[in-house]
Amino acid sequence: MIYLDYCATTPIDKDVLDTYVRISTDFFANTSSLHKLGQEANYMYELAIKEIKQLLGLKNHNLVFTANATEANNLAIFGIADKYKSGKIITTKMEHPSVYNVMKHLEGSFEVVYLDVLENGLIDLEALAREMTKDTILVSLMWVNNILGTVQNVKDAIKIVKKYPKAKLHVDAVQGLCKVTPDFDFNDIDLFTFSSHKFYGPKGIGGLFYRSNIDLDKRLFGSGAQFGIKPGTFDLALVCATAKAMKKYYPLTSVNQAYVKKIFMHLYNNIKDLDKIIINTPLENISYYALNLSVPSVTGETLVHHLEAHNICVSTGSACSSKLKKPEKTILAMTNDEIRASSSIRLSFSHLTTVAEIDQVIETLRKL
Ligand code: PLP
């Protein structure tokens, strides 16, 4: 099978799995227990957090581990919204469902504004500047779009939001971390989220970083573990495996991206002139980890199954909504074209992807 669905999830790295197994066996005690074994486990937890923060250069952020990025995005957005109870929230038309559907839920109590997606797959930041008011409590946008792979201008968004002291900036960094070198300082973002399984870490763990001076409202009630934001016993092995994955892959970000860019361009150059295909991913401001295309004569789902019959695994969109037969939201927002949005698929890459695999994909797409 040729796996080209790395934006949905990545296989766990062997070293990361080894860490998981070792910590599960050697440090099984509850990190909250006062005895020696508990304290040893707690030391490993604090060490993992310290290492992760050091990697990202974070000075004043708390890190809370969650079950995945969906949970982290929910806790971040509700954590701010529940504090204020009313006000203005600005987000975008291209957010992952774990942000977008929270916003839909909040529409009853808040003024929620969804920024447009421009033709180049980027958010209209001029509109963000126009929409900001003294009542804005939260701006939530993604760093790298999961459907197109476009890299949003977080640096400028930070500058815009900073002018409004009440407003907090939440960034969904899931498709950016370990894939794109940030041109901004993570310290300048109030809250941001990640998911370990997107960078060869284990499934079942994500994280929320938030500035330690933010009094995040709680959604869950229990012990005081993890600042009370995500109370309860957590799996230390997942935490240490996440730290291992970050320590291994964060420093490889630019090397791996340079390789993936070659893979992307090889595919792009060989399919761009094919009559049946429209490539939706632009060539600028992208991560190169995803290439989105439409074959307007068939639905995305049909195309996914056609490729599957040729041993190629791709997605119609974000894994969470790929079973829904709706036009893909980001492509629709960018193109205003329902047919293009309903017939789109996403091929996503890794440093593990080979040129031979891409050649086979090109061959299959040529014969469509
Ligand atoms: N945000 C983005 C941009 C994503 O691509 C995804 C998953 O595809 C998520 C959030 C949700 O991540 P998780 O599967 O860890 O809940």
Q: Residues 26-76: pLDDT tens digits?
A: 999 999 999 999 999 999 999 999 999 999 999 999 999 999 999 999 999
pLDDT (tens digit per residue) in 269-289: 999 999 999 999 999 999 999
Residue showing tokens 């995305």: 300
Please give the distance, rounded to the nearest whole angstrom, from the Cα atom of residue 206 to the centre of ligand 1: 9
DSSP β-bridge partners for residue 210: 62, 191
Residue showing tokens 């929910």: 74
Residue 138 reports pLDDT greater than 60: yes
Contact at 8 Å (CB) between 164 and 145?
no
**Is the model's pTM score more than 0.95?**
yes
Check residue 161 and report its DSSP letter. H
Give the integer Cα–Cα distance in Å for 87 and 135.
5
**Segment holding 259, helix H or strand E:** helix 253-271
Which ligand 1 atom is nearest residue 145's CA? 3
Residue 182 has a pLDDT of 98
State percent of the chain over pLDDT 90: 97
SS (H, E, C) 159-214: HHHHCCCCCEEEEECCCCCCCCCCCCCHHHCCEEEEEHHHHCCCCCCEEEEEECCC
Q: Where are the alpha helices (DSSP H) in 167-252?
A: 236-249
Please give the distance, rounded to the nearest whole angstrom, from the Cα atom of residue 361 to the centre of ligand 1: 25
Which ligand 1 atom is nearest residue 95's CA? 3
**Segment holding 77, helix H or strand E:** helix 69-84
Give the integer Cα–Cα distance in Å for 294 and 269.
16
Residue 322 reports pLDDT greater than 80: no
Which residues have any ligand 1 atom within 6 Å of their CB? 68-70, 96, 98, 142, 146, 172, 174-175, 195, 206, 318-319
Which ligand 1 atom is nearest residue 197's CA? 15
Tell me if residue 320 is catalytic: yes
